[in-house]
Amino acid sequence: MARLLVVEDNKDLAELLAKGLQGAGFTVDSIATAADAEHVLATNRYALVVLDLGLPDGDGSMVLRALRTRQDSTPVLILTARGGIQDRVKGLGEGADDYLAKPFAFEELVARIHALLRRPGEILGRSFKVGNVTFDTVGRQVFVDDAPEMLSARELAVLELLMRRSGRVVPKAHVEDHLYGLSGEVRSNAVEVCVHRLRKQLADVGATIHIHTVRGVGYLISEERP
């Protein structure tokens, strides 16, 4: 079970985050000051740090810098309430792995933590589900309403990539790279062809997910509205 450190000075929020993250299957330690955070991080190992930037005894970015100076690569997800338009890109530049502006949706925080831990399947068992489609990462098998569906290796690869980032746009170049890693040669329209076939097959068996094309950008899987 992944152990997280939450550095947040607002007592209510720290408690709510701890409770919520525990509910999502994490072990959580809470710390309220930058000094305590530096002390705790120097002596303990965490799977990930959720770091608030506005702390009573200093800026959270100092904690981040101290961590990176020690060559500690523990993933850090920054939370900030102060950030303006121009600060939104700064956190990532200073060695943070991700950045979430307050107020945020709790689901979004959990999704980002999963993405940073690079073990999305592990937390939810070894499979993940969007709508009535389940992807079994171990058996490399797709089920629609519990009925197994036969897909080619390419189709499986694309579907897995999109389902892992369900609700978010996956850039087309990213999908192409993924296919390239699989077969070594990708024709210019290989992704389009593959997505087209996937859509048709999913629709034929009554899947409630849909692969949207965001023209000029990439693809997006979403659950169809009932």
Partner 1 sequence: MIPRFHSILGRIAALHVLAFGAAAIAVLMATYVLLNSTAASFENQTLRAHADTIASYLSRGPDGRWTLNLPADLRTFYAHGFGGFAYAVIDANGRVISSSLRGQGAISREARDSGSAQYFSRTKGKASYTGASIPEHVGGATVRIEVAQDLEHPDVIFDDIVANFLRRVVWFTIPIMLLLLVADIVIVRRALRPVIEASDMARSIGPERMNLRLRSRNLPLEVRPLVDAFNAALDRLEQGFRQQREFTADAAHELRTPLTVLRTRLDTFPDKSAVRDLLRDIDAMSHVVNQLLDVAELEGVVVNPAETAELGTVCAEVAALVAPIAVGQGKEVALIQGQSPVRVRGNAAMLFQAVRNLVENAIEHTPVGTTVEIVVGEDGKVCVVDEGPGVPPDERDLIFRRFWRRDRTRTNGSGLGLSIVARIAEAHGGSIRVEYAPAGGAAFTLSLLPAINPSRL
Q: CA torsion angle for 18, 20, 24, 27 (degrees, to 10)?
A: 10
Through-space distance between the first and last CA atoms of the chain, rounded to whole angstroms: 35
Q: Residue 126 Cβ, how far from partner 1 at the closest point, in Å? A: 26
Contact by Cβ (8 Å): 75, 49: yes
SS3 state at 208: coil
Q: Which is nearer to partner 1, 103 or 184 (CB)?
A: 103
CB of 114 to partner 1, least distance (A): 16
Smaller CB separation from partner 1, 87 or 177: 87
Task: Give contact residues for partner 1 (rule: CB under 8 A).
Answer: 10, 12-13, 16-17, 19-20, 23, 54, 81-89, 101-107, 167-169, 171, 212, 214-218, 220, 222, 225
Smaller CB distance to partner 1: residue 104 or 180?
104
Residue 184 region by backbone torsions, left for phi larger than 0, else alpha for psi between -120 and 50, else beta: left
Q: Which is nearer to partner 1, 44 or 108 (CB)?
A: 108
Least Å distance, CB 52 to partner 1, is: 9
Nearer to partner 1, 68 or 102 (CB): 102
| Cα 214 from Cα 220, distance rounded (Å) | 7
- Among 29, 32, 78, 30, which residue's Cα sits nearest to residue 52? 78
For the CB of residue 194, give the shortest distance to partner 1 in the complex, in Å: 20
- Least distance CB 75 / partner 1 (angstroms): 21
